[in-house]
A and B are shown apart, each in its own frame.
Chain A
Amino acid sequence: MSSIEQRPRRRAPWVFAALAALLAFLPLVAGPYPQTIARSVLTYMMLAISWDMLIRSGQLSFGIAGFFGLGGYAAAIGATYLGVPPVLTLVFAAVVVGVVALLIGAVVLRLRGMYFAIVTLALAEIFRIVMHNWSSLTGGPNGMLLPRSAFDGNSVATYLMMLVLAAVVIGVSEWFRHSRIHFALTAIRDNETVAASAGVNIYAYLLTAFAITSGIQGAVGASYAQLFGFVTPESSFNVNYTLIPLAMTLLGGMYGTWGPVVGAVLLGVVGEYLKLFIPYGHLLVYGVIIVLVILFMPRGIVGLVRGHLERSRRTTTASEKGGAA
């Protein structure tokens, strides 16, 4: 096979690795406040990436906050009743939430489009109501205190823990992008009948993607529980954990790892500064940004940059051809 037909070698993994290494040294130069912002940006970034991974199959989920909150509770319950060590609660929550998503997905992944989206929204609310009312297990509306938090709340160590988790999530997202899963999910998004006729087992791939992305959201929820040392129904299932990652992905661009990363960094940092001037005003700004992006930049920042690069590449090749002729 000629080398012309091969895709260009990817630089992305190296750029990611270099960035992660650089970010690991952030605590040496930045104080606790920037570290707090960084932890919050990483949290939303991971949620944004996981949401994007599912939308690559065309399935719109509004259930991020549900699986995130469930993950927090899985961590608290695992630590309290089963003695799961703090850091391992992230893995524990990922598995518990992944299995829950597998069972629920087996039923709800027969739905499509708006119906699927609404059911995921309802699921998040059901999880919250169950945790709110199952007082004997979850402490009801008062929530639960974790017996011990990861690294006893050491801010540098927890920051590094978040960084490692984010690296894992980015790795999983890149695996989705560059394995057969990418072809299955993209084919399903473009046309399910064509996908099935090419041999794609639609149900199996959707179920896998749903379980993995929900598992990620569960692990992120557990890390949040570790950062704050407690979970409550109102804070853990807050609808912001659905809306903010969604806005970040739209701004950055869907169907790839870079989009959610760029969107999370931009909105996360900008939002944090806006909070200083107008409390809760950042949410207003998020709303305006979503509307503007959908109207004028439907492929997001990364899509916009890609489009420009494509076009300049094409005009160069065209002019080269013209010069040769």
Chain B
Amino acid sequence: MKGLQTEALTIRFGGLTAVDGVDFSLTPGEIVGIIGPNGAGKTTLINLLAGIYAPTSGRVVFDGEDITAVPAHRRAALGIGRTFQLIHPLEDLTLVENVMTGFLFAGRRSLRAAREAAAALCRDLGLGGLNRSTGELNILETKKMEIAKALAVEPSVLFLDEVMAGLNSTETLDVIRMVREIAAHRNLGIGVVEHVMGVIKELTERVVVLDGGRLIAAGPYSEVSQDPRVVSAYLGGSV
């Protein structure tokens, strides 16, 4: 089966169960929202899928193969891309060099081929001034660079961890359009973590809701947003 699935994925940090028995799937071509209040385990889930953390129990399956024990750098090469909630430019590299790294290492391309591929990708995303240092980029350009870095591993599944955070409404619309185009042209499965519900509503066909590490609801946004458990997770109080 194509795409990424998890089975009863769990990770404990000491006494805290950050992700608790989550069954999640993402197949190429779909955009799935991952929502939940702060501390629900959304970023931890992405870190488990990307191989940054090893789960306490459960499995991660990618394109039908168990990759639970596969390290992060090999998962990138397999085609799992992700952005970071707190933006992490490689500040000693220029814009184009940041984007090159994925093509160089996950894609095993030569320096010249990687530079050309990175330049073409930046052009596609509307990024110019390729030899600028990352400190010279504005917030929208930085976000686009983060997306470009994730796309540079040539993923079949891509996780966007709050890429819209800090953008104004015009910029948000710009990025939403970009994500749509990426999904349409590259046949990617995209997992979107976002706190702005308008973005989730706009972009996703279905959402999963995490609360306290557990998956408490799944389905189209219009249904899930009416679910009393979801409302209670966000607003507090008993059901």
Contact = CB atoms under 8 A, between A and B. Distances in A.
Contacts of A21: none
Contacts of B102: 198-199
A321 interface: no
A196 B92 contact: no
Contact of B131 (A7, A191, A198): A7
Contacts of A7: 131
A200 B105 contact: yes
Report, as a range, how many residues of chain B touch the other chain. 35 or more
B93 A190 contact: yes
Contacts of B111: 179-180
A196 B72 contact: yes
Contacts, number: 91
Interface stretch (A36-44, A181-189, A208-216): A181-189
B82 A197 contact: yes
Interface in B141-200: 149-150, 152-153
Interface string A218-256: 000000000000000000000000000000000000010
B88 A194 contact: yes
A198 B153 contact: yes
B96 interface: yes
B116 A198 contact: no
A167 interface: no
Nearest to B92: A186
B101 A195 contact: yes
A195 B74 CA distance: 12
Q: Which of A179, A187, A194, A197 lies at the interface centre, i.e. has the most chain B CB atoms within 10 A of its CB?
A: A197
A193 B150 CA distance: 13
A197 B90 contact: no
Given A179-B111, A196-B72, A196-B73, A5 B92 contact: no
Interface residues of A, number: 23
A202 interface: yes
Nearest to B96: A5
A127 B70 CA distance: 36
Given A5-B96, A180-B104, A199-B76, A190 B131 contact: no
A191 B93 CA distance: 12
A183 B119 contact: no
B131 A5 contact: yes
A1 interface: yes
B52 interface: yes
A191 B149 CA distance: 14
A135 interface: no
Nearest to B52: A193
Given A7-B131, A196-B52, A190 B105 contact: no
A201 B71 CA distance: 9
Given A190-B92, A197-B50, A1 B101 contact: no
Interface in B60-102: 71-74, 76-77, 81-82, 84, 88-93, 96-97, 100-102
A171 to B, nearest CB: 18
Contacts of B153: 197-199
A193 B93 contact: no
A55 B1 CA distance: 44
Nearest to B100: A183
B106 interface: yes
Nearest to A193: B52
A202 B152 CA distance: 18
B224 interface: no
Given A5-B130, A196-B76, A183 B97 contact: yes
Contact of A198 (B52, B96, B106, B130): B106
A193 B92 contact: no
Interface string A1-28: 1000101000000000000000000000
A306 to B, nearest CB: 12
A61 to B, nearest CB: 19
Contacts of B77: 199
Interface in A29-80: none
B21 interface: no
Contacts of A186: 90, 92-93
Given A183-B104, A184-B105, A193-B52, A200 B73 contact: yes
A12 B115 CA distance: 21
Contacts of B37: none
B107 interface: yes
Interface of A: 1, 5, 7, 179-180, 183-184, 186-187, 189-191, 193-202, 255
Closest 3 CB pairs of A and B: A199-B106, A199-B105, A196-B72
27 contacts: A1-B115, A5-B115, A179-B111, A183-B93, A183-B100, A184-B105, A186-B90, A190-B88, A190-B89, A190-B90, A190-B93, A193-B84, A195-B90, A196-B52, A196-B73, A197-B73, A197-B153, A198-B73, A198-B102, A198-B106, A198-B153, A199-B73, A199-B101, A200-B73, A200-B101, A200-B105, A201-B105
